[in-house]
């Protein structure tokens, strides 16, 4: 029987439809296969990397608790908090053992555990020495022994993270090799599936790389933020004769700026403002070390030159990679009504009298910390303080805040704002400076960390009667 002409288009349509359906099934199968391979690579291997990074975070959370215990005068709450952080570390250590797959991971983890146990024991030694009443010996053991072990544990932890990252990369490479075989099968089956499969491979590959990069970045940001939360003072010291307030704005997730209030054994007040070069995780860690060293040394020493010389001798070893710390440390003595200071390469501080006249500049007297092991840190000329004097300490982010036109905020604007508000309390002076910066640069437009501390000298009873 002769086939009707109309049968040919019908057969072509049916054949094309069947080929399209077959191509769709092949494409769906290849897509499912590719997704399964990548999902397997992430599900089976990503927990190892996460456990390693959490170990690093848990380790950083422990740092400084023994110092805080000594600073707080034997407050057991700090040791209880340290024990909780240790338990978190041990939990992630167990998970790291369970997820380790290669001899390299196992060896790195074994070495990390060995040094961590030594570090853990040394922490207990510091607490025991402190509890015996030998506080100076405890501080020396903390600064020169425990911190070396802390650094060694941290470096081993970074090596363990790198070993897990290499293993995850290897697993991902194996998955990609399998994907290439699936792609060749699609090429042999049908051209349409090849195009779709290649597109899906590219999408999934980019997605996995982005997820891995984002995970590592977020872990480092989280660790830096946790360090920062313990770094800044929780409260403003209530000390008769001094009205104090500080403002702080990080340019990124973690700041390189630092401020603190220190109490010397004789009752005088230390005010410090600093800036670690750079931003992010490394500077935040270096800032935490600087804070711990200063707080520990202030407990047993009063001479600013000696304190910063000892701090510098340790930071030269810790900083590395060309990092340094500019720092301005002031000591305010209410009894003698005087200010002494050392400025290690930091922007000048200012002292204004009750009328807003510039009384003194607290200019740089030495190199920044961490630059040279032989650096000397002489004090600047002491400044006699009078009631209603205003002391202003700032970071370079204040001076270098830019307007939309590209101009800098500068020293004169800082002094102009302070003069215009010098009769007001310290909080209002600091907030007025903060508001002026925001109006000049625009909200959220700071390119560097912004930190300022304002101290206003309050009249004593004798001053009030004299008035």
Give the separation between CA 223 and CA 284, rounded to whole angstroms. Answer: 9
Q: Is 0.75 surpassed by the pTM of this model?
A: no
Residue 5 located in a structural domain: no
Q: Among 196, 228, 260, give the residue marking a domain's end.
A: 228
Q: Among 207, 228, 249, give the residue marking a domain's end.
A: 228
Distances (CA, A) of 293 to 52, 144, 312, 328: 28, 10, 10, 15
Q: Among 228, 255, 281, give the residue marking a domain's end.
A: 228
Q: In what order do the strands lie in the sheet with 242-249?
A: 242-249, 450-457, 390-394, 349-352, 358-362
Nearest to 58 by CA among 120, 134, 118, 128: 120
User: Could you tell me if 381 and 452 lie in one domain?
Assistant: yes
Give the separation between CA 107 and CA 122, rounded to whole angstroms. Answer: 23
Buried b / exposed e along 185-206 (16+ C-beta atoms within 10 A): bbeebbebbbebbbebbeebbe
Nearest to 61 by CA among 94, 92, 80, 89: 89
Residue 3 located in a structural domain: no
Give the separation between CA 190 and CA 206, rounded to whole angstroms. Answer: 25
What residues are paired with 453 via a beta bridge? 246, 393
Q: Are strands 349-352 and 450-457 parallel, antiparallel or unpaired?
A: unpaired
Segments forming the whole domain that contains residue 18:
10-228
From first to last of the 467 residues of the chain, give the pLDDT tens digit. Answer: 344 444 445 555 556 566 656 666 665 666 666 666 555 555 656 677 777 778 777 777 776 777 777 777 787 887 788 888 888 888 888 888 887 878 888 888 888 888 888 888 888 888 888 888 888 888 888 888 888 887 888 788 788 788 877 777 776 776 677 666 666 665 666 565 445 545 544 555 565 565 665 655 556 555 556 556 666 887 788 788 899 999 988 777 666 788 999 999 888 999 999 998 876 667 777 888 888 899 999 988 989 999 999 999 989 887 766 789 999 999 999 888 899 999 999 999 999 999 999 999 999 999 999 999 999 999 999 999 999 999 999 999 899 888 888 889 999 999 999 999 999 999 999 999 999 998 888 766 677 788 999 999 988 644 543 34
Nearest to 456 by CA among 420, 418, 410: 418
Token pair belonging to 275:
């800036």
What's the structural domain count of the chain? 2
């Amino acid at each position: 029987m002769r086939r009707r002409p109309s049968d040919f288009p019908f057969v072509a349509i049916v054949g094309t439809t069947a080929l399209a359906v077959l191509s769709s099934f092949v494409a769906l199968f290849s897509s499912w296969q590719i997704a399964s391979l990548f999902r397997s690579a992430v599900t089976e291997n990503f927990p190892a990397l996460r456990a390693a990074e959490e170990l690093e975070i848990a380790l950083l959370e422990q740092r400084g608790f023994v110092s805080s215990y000594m600073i707080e005068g034997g407050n057991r709450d700090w040791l209880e908090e340290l024990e909780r952080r240790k338990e978190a570390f041990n939990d992630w250590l167990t998970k790291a053992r369970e997820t380790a797959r290669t001899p390299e991971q196992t060896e790195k983890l074994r070495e990390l555990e060995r040094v961590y146990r030594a570090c853990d024991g040394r922490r207990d030694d510091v607490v025991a020495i402190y509890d015996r009443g030998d506080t100076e010996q405890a501080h020396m053991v903390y600064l020169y022994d425990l911190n070396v072990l802390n650094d060694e544990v941290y470096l081993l932890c970074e090596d363990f993270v790198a070993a897990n990252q290499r293993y995850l990369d290897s697993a991902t490479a194996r998955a990609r090799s399998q994907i290439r075989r699936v792609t060749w099968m699609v090429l042999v089956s049908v051209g349409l599936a090849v195009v779709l499969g290649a597109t899906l491979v590219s999408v999934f590959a980019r997605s996995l790389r982005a997820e891995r990069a984002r995970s590592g970045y977020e872990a480092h940001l989280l660790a830096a933020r946790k360090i920062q939360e313990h770094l800044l003072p929780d409260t403003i010291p209530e000390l008769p004769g001094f009205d104090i307030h500080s403002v702080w704005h990080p340019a990124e997730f973690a700041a390189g700026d630092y401020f603190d209030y220190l109490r010397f054994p004789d009752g005088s007040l230390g005010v410090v403002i600093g800036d670690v070069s750079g931003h992010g995780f490394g500077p935040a860690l270096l800032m935490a070390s600087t804070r711990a060293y200063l707080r520990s040394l202030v407990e047993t020493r009063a001479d600013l030159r000696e304190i910063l010389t000892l701090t510098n001798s340790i930071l030269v070893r810790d900083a590395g990679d060309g990092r340094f710390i500019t720092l301005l440390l002031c000591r305010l003595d209410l009894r003698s009504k005087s200010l002494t200071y050392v400025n290690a390469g930091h922007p000048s501080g200012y002292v204004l009298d009750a009328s807003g006249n510039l009384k003194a500049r607290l200019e740089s007297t030495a190199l920044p910390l961490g630059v040279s092991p032989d650096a000397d840190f002489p004090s600047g000329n002491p400044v006699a303080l009078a009631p209603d004097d205003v002391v202003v300490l700032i970071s370079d982010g204040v001076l270098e805040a830019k307007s939309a036109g590209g101009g800098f905020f500068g020293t004169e604007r800082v002094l102009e704002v302070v003069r215009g508000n010098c009769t007001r309390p310290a909080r209002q002076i600091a907030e007025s400076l903060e508001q002026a910066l925001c109006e000049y640069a625009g909200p959220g437009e700071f390119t560097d960390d912004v930190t300022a501390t304002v101290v206003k000298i309050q009249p004593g009873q004798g001053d009030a009667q004299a008035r």
